[in-house]
Structures are given as structure tokens and as C-alpha cells.
Homo-oligomer: A and B are copies of this chain.
């Protein structure tokens, strides 16, 4: 394993950034690419050395692909679509080294355990309601395991909640009922380096969502709209917020270390609402690279505070692998 020379990833989500960064750090690169998306990734052969074509990402567990990845001495970089595309059971079957803590990936698959991790970390989170009768303020109702906000809805009080559940034929026990936090969404891109033992803030973004971010253009009332993420917009934070942002980041590192040792490795994201009293409330996390980092292929207002060279999160991952190889410490960044 000390002889890693290639960085591989699924051609989706943040693959261009990851592979570009890998090339900048001197690695060979492999994109595992859906046949219908070859038209995108073939354009970037100047930093993608090898494209392995598949019809379904699940083919990655096939013997011939595993063999090729081993022969190329590859490490796989998981991103936001990794677990979604492969499924937990397939990830367990992958024998090629995967960057990060595999147990965190599995943990992350369970919405309740995610909330538990945030709560145990001491990070401020929205109040959770276990019973409808306890609801004493507006709430947002989420479905266990739902993707991209599909089916989320809001109720202003327990009565409205009860009616909506009845109307939709839902049982409260299937649902996550969280206090609705008024404020603005913010996404913080962190990187925890087990090699440097350092938490870095590499950027922040706002999501651009269809349809909600276009509704203002329609001159009539719209009762119902969706929140599908279709892009990302750059953001810098009010500097006084950094106190909470670093505090939360450190708390997340410690909580994962305690609950899922050795804890988070590399990039993660806290997904939050900033209230008007400047309190940040975290409603979700991602234990891997998030797509918002694609904004910062050439570095962010934060990465430039750390590095005197352009440093994307993708490149930062490759840099960490390089440091681990140099220090003969790959076991610190490939776990589980």
C-alpha cells in the first residue's frame, strides 16, 4: 500500500477537481466513467490518464476492474455520489484502498445516526421533536434517507403537522421532525489532516437550487416548489463567524474520533443556517468532499490563507496522500 501512484474516482460530482488536483500533485489518474458521460470526461484527457468505461458504477466491484486498479496501485477517492451510486454493501466489497474512514461512510448512511453524531459533538443543532404534541414552533419534516430535499415539508404548529401527516398518509415514526430555523443557509468546507494534525477551512458556499432560486421571477404565488441542488455560488463569511465555524469543525473532528475512531479523515462539510443573531445551527453534515468545493478549483479566499499555491479540496486530498506516502503513514488516511 505504500506504493500508491494513481488516484481514481467515479466520474461524477467533483471528479474533475479531484483528478486535476491529483495530476498537479504528480499522480497518475483514473476516471471510472459511465459510457453516456464519456463525452464529458474525454475532453479532459490532459489530466485523466485512463478512463475505465462502465455501464453502471457498481461494476467497480468486478474482478477485472479491481485487478486493474490494483495493478495501477490506485487509491479510490469517495465523493458525495460514491455511496449513493455504489450502495453500502458494495463499498464493503471493494478491496482497493479507499481514502478516508470507511466506517464513517457507513455511519453516514443512517440519518438518525448522523443526527446523533452532531448532537453528541456539542454542535448547535435544530431541536428534534419525537412527538407531534411536543411541536411548539414551525418544523421541517424530512424522510429518513430522502435525497436532495425530496418530499420535505414545513408545518407551522402541531395541528398543521398532524393534518399534513394525515393528508399524506404518513406516520410520524418514519420521519425526522426538526425545528425550522430562520436564517440563511451556509456550507463550510473543512479538511482534517491526520498527517499534519490540523483542521483547515478551505471554503464556503451557498447552494443554487431549482426551483426555489427561480421562484422570485414568477409573478404569481407559487404554493409548492423544489430544492434540487443544480449549482453552487461562492461565499465569504463575516469574519466574526469563524469563531463558531472553527469551534464546530474541531468538535466534529473530536466526535468522530470518539464514535468512529480514528475519526474523520480529509474533507467534510457542515451544512448550516446562520440566524440573524449570528448563531450558526448545523442541520446536516457530509463526511466527504462536497460539490461546493468545485467553485475553488483554483483556491478559495480561505485556502489562500493557508497555501501560497492554488489549493482545491481535490488537490488537498492528493497532497495528503503524498504526505502520507512520504511519512510512511498511509494507515492514517486509509482506514476500515
Find out whether the CB atom of B301 lies under 8 angstroms from the CB atom of A239.
no
Q: Which residues of B contact A231 (CB under 8 A)?
A: 184, 186, 204, 235-238, 241, 274
Q: Which residues of B contact A39 (CB under 8 A)?
A: 243, 246-247, 250
Interface flag for A210 (CB, 8 Å): yes
> Closest CB of chain B to A318's CB: distance in Å?
15
Q: Which residues of B contact A47 (CB under 8 A)?
A: 305
Q: Which residues of B contact A218 (CB under 8 A)?
A: 138, 154, 180, 182
Residue from B182, B294, B302 within 8 A of A214 (CB atoms): B182
Q: Which residues of B contact A13 (CB under 8 A)?
A: 239-240
Distance of A222 Cα from B183 Cα, bound (Å): 12
Q: Which residues of B contact A250 (CB under 8 A)?
A: 39
Q: Which residues of B contact A180 (CB under 8 A)?
A: 218
Distance of A255 Cα from B224 Cα, bound (Å): 37
Interface window among A14-22, A94-102, A106-114, A124-132: A14-22
What 0/1 pattern do residues 77 to 98 of A give for CB contact below 8 A with B?
0000000000000000000000
Distance of A266 Cα from B172 Cα, bound (Å): 57
Find out whether the CB atom of A209 lies under 8 angstroms from the CB atom of B228.
no
Distance of A37 Cα from B246 Cα, bound (Å): 10
Interface flag for A166 (CB, 8 Å): no
Find out whether the CB atom of A304 lies under 8 angstroms from the CB atom of B294.
no
Number of interface residues of A (CB under 8 A): 83
Q: Which of A1-18 contact B (CB under 8 A)?
A: 12-16
Q: Which of A37-65 contact B (CB under 8 A)?
A: 37, 39-40, 43-44, 46-47
Interface flag for A136 (CB, 8 Å): no
Interface flag for A170 (CB, 8 Å): no
> Closest CB of chain B to A26's CB: distance in Å?
15
Interface flag for A282 (CB, 8 Å): no
Residue from B233, B236, B242 within 8 A of A40 (CB atoms): B242
Find out whether the CB atom of B206 lies under 8 angstroms from the CB atom of A278.
no
Q: Which residues of B contact A242 (CB under 8 A)?
A: 40
Residue from B230, B243, B276 within 8 A of A241 (CB atoms): B230
Distance of A16 Cα from B210 Cα, bound (Å): 33
Q: Which residues of B contact A296 (CB under 8 A)?
A: 301
Q: Which residues of B contact A294 (CB under 8 A)?
A: 236, 239, 301
Distance of A242 Cα from B230 Cα, bound (Å): 11
Distance of A209 Cα from B199 Cα, bound (Å): 27
A36, A182, A218, A273 pick with most chain B CB within 10 angstroms: A182
Residue from B15, B36, B275 within 8 A of A239 (CB atoms): B15
Which residues of A line the B interface, CB within 8 A? 12-16, 20, 36-37, 39-40, 43-44, 46-47, 138, 153-154, 156, 180, 182-186, 204, 206, 208-220, 222-243, 246-247, 250, 273-278, 291, 294-299, 301-302, 304-306, 310
* Given A212-B217, A231-B238, A297-B302, 4 other A-B residues pairs in contact with their CB atoms under 8 A: A46-B306, A211-B276, A228-B276, A230-B278
The 7 closest A-B pairs by CB, nearest first: A226-B276, A184-B214, A228-B276, A297-B301, A183-B210, A184-B210, A210-B276
